[in-house]
Structure 1
Amino acid sequence: MEYIKVTNENIEKEHICCAISNNNDIQVSSKKAWLSERFEDGLVFLKSTERGKCFIEYIPAENAWNPISADGYMYIDCLWVAGSFKGNGYSSDLLNACMEDSKNKGKKGLCILATAKKKPFLADPKFLKYKGFRVCDEADNGIQLWYLPFVENATLPQFKECAKHPHTDEMGYVLYYTSQCPFNAKYVPAIEGIAKEKAIQFKAIHLQSKEEAQNAPTPITTYALFLDGNYITNEQMNDKRFLKLLEK
């Protein structure tokens, strides 16, 4: 498998693995705009040269769009290998490339979000454990921070206090999200429309800066849905999934 690093120089012609449509698609344009603004913060997007979901995205933890304290670490936004790419060792290829790059940049180690049991849009804990990662912190909603140190006695990454007890003070549905996930550009407006049509209290909070994301009341900022103050899910909802949720 050959891999290519996406940069501001080639981003217009390269596909983005999690959204493979053309640049006129709102999901693609949203994700590419978000990436373009993060490259100067040290973000790396390494992907397969073949079209499909096979990529890793990582950034120095102090610039991560998550409420974590992990100075000196590299934070993995997403490691996603799916479809026909699974089972070929590509996840290991991508992680190894991230490790080598991070060590060359003098990082203490890596950190990433997961849960005790695999959940959509989060890393596989079995894979992480196999690669030597360990849990270093956990929020009340079961979201865990995993780390892989490169040096002995490295300070453990941890969640900021604002994220350890995910909760909002507002009633109804409250969604925190960023443009890191391209699906939000399409489906957040869709579920906002459904909520309005059905006269359901719904508020979408679009985190549009690193500072906002680093002080959010949730470990996961790409997508965190609450109901009457309580955390529900990090799984992106299309219109059908949201309607099913409302039926419950």
Structure 2
Amino acid sequence: MDYVYVTKENIEQEHICCAISSNSDVQVRSKKDWLSDRFEGGLVFLKSSVRGKCFIEYIPAKNAWIPIDADNYMYIDCLWVAGSLKGHGYSSELLNMCIEDSKKKGMDGICILSTKKKTSYLADPKFLAYKGFKVCDEANNGIQLWYLAFNDSNLPKFKSCAKNCHISESGFVLYYTSQCPFNAKYVLIIENLSKEMNIEFKAIHLDTKEKAQNAPTPITTYALFYNGDYVTNDVMNEKKFLKVVEKLK
């Protein structure tokens, strides 16, 4: 497999694996704007040269939009291989390229979010364990921080604000960033649906690094709460959201 580094110079010409469409699509535009704003902070987006969901996105943890303390670690925003590209070893290739790059940049290791069991939008824990990753911290909602150290160093950990995963507000409250392109479409859809059905719903857009790094959730791309309790990181469309509403109410 040949891979392409997406940069400011070629981003308008390259497809974005998690949202494959034209630049005029709101989801594609949102993701490309997100990437463009992060490059100066050291973000790397490496993808397959063929169209499909096969990419890795990572950034120095000090610039990552999640509440962790991980001095001199690289943080993987997303590692995703799906569809016809799955099962060919591409995940290992992408991860190995990230490891090699991180070592060249003098990092002490890399870290990533996962759970005990495979969860949507998070790395597969079995794959991480196979590649030598270990769990270094866990929030009360089961979200785990996994790490792979290159040398003896302080282990990454969640900030205290993200450990309990509980908020004081009632109703549905969604914390999200623009890292996930699907939010550009579906957050508004759920907002409008909630208004139509008189469902108490509030969306909080974490639109700065500082807000994201001090969020009450280890997952900032999409974290849905209900009456203070964490519910899911699964991006909701209308059908999924109504199922959650029916279950909780």
TM interval, shorter chain, is over 0.9
Letter in 2 for 1:232: V
Which aligned runs of 4 or more in structure 1 are off by greater than 2 angstroms? Answer: none
**Which structure 2 residues correspond to residues 167-246 of structure 1 after superposition, within 5 A?**
167-246=166-245
- Equivalents in 1 of 2:153, 2:235: separation in Å? 34
Q: Which runs of 5+ in 2 are unaligned?
A: none
1:243 Cα shift?
Answer: 1.5
Letter in 2 for 1:233: T
**Which structure 2 residues correspond to residues 137-156 of structure 1 after superposition, within 5 A?**
137-151=137-151, 153-156=152-155
SS of the residue 2:52 aligns to: coil
Q: Percent identity?
A: 72
- Equivalents in 2 of 1:245, 1:112: separation in Å? 27
- Equivalents in 2 of 1:111, 1:200: separation in Å? 37
- Equivalents in 2 of 1:193, 1:240: separation in Å? 14
Paired residues in the alignment total 247
- Equivalents in 2 of 1:50, 1:247: separation in Å? 41
Cα RMSD, aligned residues only: 0.5
Letter in 1 for 2:84: S
SS of the residue 1:182 aligns to: coil
1:247 Cα shift?
Answer: 2.0
Q: Deviations over 1:199-224 (max 9, x none)?
A: 11100000001000000000000000
Letter in 1 for 2:167: T
Q: Which runs of 5+ in 1 are unaligned?
A: none
SS of the residue 1:4 aligns to: strand
Letter in 2 for 1:169: S
SS of the residue 2:5 aligns to: strand
Q: Residue 15 of structure 2 corresponds to which residue in structure 1?
A: 15
The two structures have a TM-score, normalised by structure 1, of 0.99
**Which structure 2 residues correspond to residues 22-171 of structure 1 after superposition, within 5 A?**
22-151=22-151, 153-171=152-170
Q: Deviations over 1:95-121 (max 9, x none)?
A: 000000000000000000000000000
Q: Deviations over 1:22-65 (max 9, x none)?
A: 00000000000010000000000000010000000000000000
- Equivalents in 2 of 1:14, 1:247: separation in Å? 41
The two structures have a TM-score, normalised by structure 2, of 0.99
Q: Residue 3 of structure 1 corresponds to which residue in structure 2?
A: 3
- Equivalents in 1 of 2:237, 2:179: separation in Å? 17
